[in-house]
Amino acid sequence: MKSTFASLAIAAALSASVSGFALAQDSVEVLHWWTSGGEAAAVGVLKDDLQKQGVGWQDMPVAGGGGEAANTALKARVTSGNPPTAAQLLGMAVNEWSEEGLLGDLTSVADQEGWGTVVPDAIKNFAVHDGKWQAVPVNIHRPNWLWINAKVFKDNGLEPPKTWDEFNAVADKLKEKGIVPLAHGGQPWQDTTVFDDVVLGIGGPEFYKKAILELDDAALKSDTMVKVFDQMRKIRGYVDPNFSGRDWNLATAMVLKGEAAMQLMGDWAKGEIVKANLTPGVDILCVTAPGTEGSFLFNTDFFAMFPVGDSKLAAQHKLAASVMSPSFQEAFNLVKGSIPARTDVSGDKFDACAKKSMGDLKSAVSSGRLLGSLAHGHAEPAGIQRAMFDVVTQHFNSDMSSKDAAAALVTAINAAR
Partner 1 sequence: MTAVPDSNFAMALMRPRSLNPTKMLGRIFVYGCLVVLAALFLAPLASMVMTSLKSMDEIRSGTLLSVPQAPTIEAWASVWSSACISIACGGLKGYFGNSFLIAVPATLISVGLGALNGYVFSTRRFQGDNILFGLILFGCFIPFQIVLIPMAGLLGMLGLAGTIPGLVLVHVVYGVCFTTMFFRNYFVTVPAEIFKAARVDGAGFWAIFFRILLPISWPIVMVSIIWQFTGVWNDFLFGVSFAAGSNQPVTVAVNNLVNTSTGTKAYNEDMAAAMIAALPTIVIYVAAGRYFLRGLMAGAVKG
Partner 2 sequence: MTLSKRIQAALPAFVLSPSLAAIAICVYGFIAYTALLSFTGSKMFAKFDFVGLRQYERLFDNPRWITAVENMAIFGGLYVVVATCLGLYIAVLIDQKIRLEGVFRAIFLYPMALSFVVTGVIWQWLLNPGLGLEHMVRSLGWQSFTFQWLVEPDWAIYTIVIAGVWQVTGFVMALFLAGLRGVDTEILRAARVDGAPVHKVYTRIVIPALRPVFLTAFVIEAHLAIKSYDLVVALTKGGPGVSTELPSTFMYSMTFTRNELGVGAASATVMLTSLAAIIVPYLYSELRDDRRA
Of residues 105, 172, 283, 390, which one binds partner 2 by CB under 8 A?
Answer: 390
What is the contact mask toward partner 1 in residues 297 to 316, using x (rule: CB under 8 A)? --------------------
181 CA to centre of own chain: 24
**Residue 293 neighbours by CB distance under 10 Å:** 13
Of residues 28, 50, 62, 387, which one binds partner 1 by CB under 8 A?
Answer: 62
Q: In angstroms, give the least distance from the CB of 26 to partner 2.
A: 30
Q: What does the alpha-carbon distance between residue 86 and residue 305 come to, in Å, rounded to a whole number?
A: 5
Residue 367 interface partner, choices partner 2, partner 1, none, CB cut-off 5-8 Å depending on type: none
Q: Which of 209, 201, 220 is nearest to 387 (CA)?
A: 220
Is residue 120 within 8 A of residue 365, CB to CB? The reply is: yes
Of residues 156, 224, 249, 401, which one binds partner 1 by CB under 8 A?
Answer: 249
Of residues 20, 100, 154, 178, which one binds partner 2 by CB under 8 A?
Answer: 100
Q: Which of 138, 129, 121, 111 is nearest to 33 (CA)?
A: 138
Give the β-pairing of 145-149 and 284-288: antiparallel
Of residues 386, 404, 407, 410, which one binds partner 2 by CB under 8 A?
Answer: 386
- State the maximum Cα–Cα separation within the chain, in Å, rounded to a whole number: 78
Is residue 209 within 8 A of residue 369, CB to CB? The reply is: no
415 binds partner 2 (CB under 8 A): yes
Residue 14 interface partner, choices partner 2, partner 1, none, CB cut-off 5-8 Å depending on type: partner 1
Q: In angstroms, give the least distance from the CB of 246 to partner 1.
A: 11
Q: What does the alpha-carbon distance between residue 95 and residue 92 come to, in Å, rounded to a whole number?
A: 5
24 binds partner 1 (CB under 8 A): no
Residue 315 interface partner, choices partner 2, partner 1, none, CB cut-off 5-8 Å depending on type: none
Q: In angstroms, give the least distance from the CB of 241 to partner 2.
A: 7
272 binds partner 1 (CB under 8 A): yes
Angle at the Cα of 382 from the Cα atoms of 407 and 270, rounded to 5 degrees: 100
188 binds partner 2 (CB under 8 A): yes
Tell me the site size for partner 2, rule CB under 8 A.
Answer: 35
Q: What does the alpha-carbon distance between residue 198 and residue 281 come to, in Å, rounded to a whole number?
A: 22
81 binds partner 1 (CB under 8 A): yes
Beta-ladder partners of 260 = 180
277 binds partner 1 (CB under 8 A): no
Burial 21-41 (b: 16+ CB within 10 A, else e): eebeeebbbbbbbbeeebbee
The three-class DSSP label of residue 301 is: strand
Of residues 72, 112, 363, 366, which one binds partner 1 by CB under 8 A?
Answer: 72
What is the contact mask toward partner 2 in residues 80 to 99, using x (rule: CB under 8 A)? ----------------xx-x
Contacts of 21 (CB under 8 A, 6+ apart): none
State the virtual CA torsion across 119, 122, 125, 131 in degrees, nearest 10: 50
Instruction: Write out the residues near partner 1 by the rule CB under 8 A.
Output: 2, 5-6, 9-10, 12-14, 16-17, 20-21, 29, 32-40, 43-44, 47, 57-66, 69, 72-73, 75-77, 79-82, 247, 249-250, 253, 268, 271-272, 275, 337
Instruction: Write out the residues near partner 2 by the rule CB under 8 A.
Output: 65, 68, 71-72, 75, 79, 96-97, 99-100, 102, 186-188, 241-245, 381-383, 385-387, 390, 393-394, 396-398, 408, 412, 415-416
